[in-house]
Amino acid sequence: MDSVRIDKWLWAARFFKTRSLAAKAVSGGHVTLNGNKAKPSRMVQKGDMLVIRQELLAFTVQIIALSEQRGPAAAARTLYAETQDSMDRREQLAAERRMARLQGNPPERRPDKHERRKIRQFLKKE
């Protein structure tokens, strides 16, 4: 096998839980192949560079091996090599989120109906 669909590879490499989620991410522009937007049916080969954005995280990976089948997580990690810059950025983001969590106490629950009404009244006065 010398090429695989990008959505199948992303699913097999365990970046997305389902193949349809991988296809939606590629269609939505959250995955770039060698610096260009791609369609889910685009074929990837060994050596291609992918930038995968998931919520706050961004992975920059180089494809090392191809697979159409989803296997264990340990096998999935052998399909790609993440760049050092990408790992550093993710570690820095995780550290920032930890610090933000320690500095401020997020609310333990959402405001109920009565509290939301008070908030709206307060915001109307301004």
- Is 83 inside any structural domain? yes
What is the model's pLDDT at position 120?
92
Q: How many domains does the chain divide into?
A: 1
Question: Domain of 89: which CATH number?
Answer: 3.10.290.10
- Amino acid identity, position 112: D
At 61-120, the pLDDT tens digits run 999 999 999 999 999 999 999 999 999 999 999 998 888 777 776 667 888 999 999 999
First to last CA, the chain: 64
Burial label, 76 (beta-carbon count in 10 A; 0-12, 13-18, 19+): middle
Coil, strand, or helix at residue 29?
Answer: coil
pTM (two decimals): 0.77
- Is 88 inside any structural domain? yes
Q: In the β-sheet with 31-33, what is the strand arrangement from edge to edge? A: 36-37, 31-33, 49-54, 57-63, 80-82
- Is 124 inside any structural domain? no
Query: Structure tokens of 40?
Result: 């889910």
- Is 126 inside any structural domain? no
Q: Where are the alpha helices (DSSP H) in 1-126?
A: 6-12, 19-27, 73-77, 84-103, 113-125
- Is 57 inside any structural domain? yes
Q: Which domain holds residue 18?
A: 4-105
At 7-16, the pLDDT tens digits run 999 999 999 9
